[in-house]
C-alpha cells in the first residue's frame, strides 16, 4: 500500500498507527508548503486538498485519518489500536472524538488564524479574529483531558489506542506552534513521555 504524506500531525498519526501495527507503507511525499496539494494533479487524488491519502494495492484511495485508521484496523487485526471488542471500540471512539473536538479542531483553526495565516489565508477560510479564543479553547480541552486522565497510563485505560496517537501528534504540533502543554499539567506530561518513548514516535515526518 502507498501513503501520500506530508509534514503535519495528521500524516504523522497514520504513520504512527501503521508502525504500531507493523504495517509497511510506501511513502510518497506531497509538498504542502509549496502548495502541491492545491494543484489539479493532487485535487484529482483528493478533492479536499488535504493529506494523508492511503492508496490500496488495488488502487482504492482513502482520505481522512479516521477512515484510513479504521480501514487499516479492519485489514490488520493484530495489535488492535481501536479495540478488539465492541465495548473497547466504543470507548476508543469516544475518546478519539473528544480529542478531535476539544483539542485538534480548535488548535488547528487557532494556528491557521495566527502563525499559519500567511500560508493558509489564500487556501482555506481562516479566522484571525477568533484565533486567540480558539487557542484558549484548545487549552481548555487539554486541561479537561489532564483532569480526566487520572492515574490511567493511556486515555482509554491500560492499553495504547489511536486516541493517544492522535493527541500525541497534536500535542507535539502544538509545542511547535506556540500551543504547548501547560507546565503544571503533570499527568499529560507523564503521558506524553510515555508515548514519546515508543519507536513510532521517532519516525521521520517525511519518507
Range 5-27 average pLDDT: 97
- Same fold? 2-75, 86-198: no
Over residues 104-116, the pLDDT tens digits come to 999 999 999 999 9
Is the pTM of the predicted complex or chain greater than 0.85? yes
* Model confidence pLDDT, tens digit, residues 20-77: 999 999 999 999 999 999 999 999 999 999 999 999 999 999 999 999 999 999 999 9
- Burial per residue of 171-185, b for 16 or more beta-carbon CB atoms within 10 angstroms, e otherwise: bbbbeebebebeeeb
- CATH code of the domain made up of 86-198: 1.20.1050.10
Domains of the chain, by residue range, sit at: 2-75, 86-198
Residue 204 has pLDDT above 70, yes or no: yes
CATH topology of domain 2-75: Glutaredoxin (3.40.30)
On the 0-12 / 13-18 / 19+ scale of CB atoms within 10 A, 77 is: exposed
Residue 87 burial (C-beta neighbours within 10 Å; 0-12, 13-18, 19+): exposed
Amino acid at each position: 500500500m502507498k501513503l501520500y504524506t506530508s509534514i503535519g500531525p495528521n500524516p504523522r498519526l497514520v504513520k504512527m498507527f501503521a508502525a504500531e501495527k507493523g504495517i509497511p507503507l510506501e511513502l510518497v511525499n506531497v509538498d504542502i508548503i509549496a502548495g502541491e496539494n492545491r494543484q489539479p494533479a493532487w485535487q484529482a487524488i483528493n478533492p479536499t486538498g488535504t493529506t494523508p491519502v492511503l492508496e490500496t494495492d488495488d488502487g482504492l484511495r482513502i482520505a481522512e485519518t479516521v477512515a484510513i485508521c479504521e480501514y487499516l484496523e479492519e485489514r490488520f487485526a493484530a495489535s488492535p489500536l481501536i479495540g478488539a471488542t465492541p465495548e473497547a471500540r466504543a470507548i476508543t471512539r469516544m475518546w478519539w472524538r473528544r480529542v478531535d473536538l476539544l483539542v485538534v479542531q480548535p488548535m488547528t483553526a487557532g494556528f491557521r488564524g495566527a502563525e499559519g495565516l500567511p500560508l493558509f489565508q489564500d487556501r482555506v477560510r481562516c479566522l484571525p479574529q477568533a484565533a486567540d479564543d480558539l487557542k484558549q479553547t484548545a487549552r481548555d480541552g487539554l486541561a479537561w483531558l489532564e483532569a480526566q486522565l487520572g492515574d490511567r497510563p493511556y486515555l482509554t485505560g491500560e492499553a495504547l489506542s489511536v486516541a493517544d496517537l492522535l493527541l500525541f501528534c497534536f500535542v507535539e504540533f502544538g509545542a511547535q506552534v506556540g500551543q504547548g502543554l501547560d507546565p503544571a499539567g503533570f499527568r499529560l506530561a507523564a503521558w506524553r513521555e510515555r508515548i514519546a518513548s515508543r519507536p513510532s514516535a521517532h519516525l521521520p515526518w517525511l519518507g
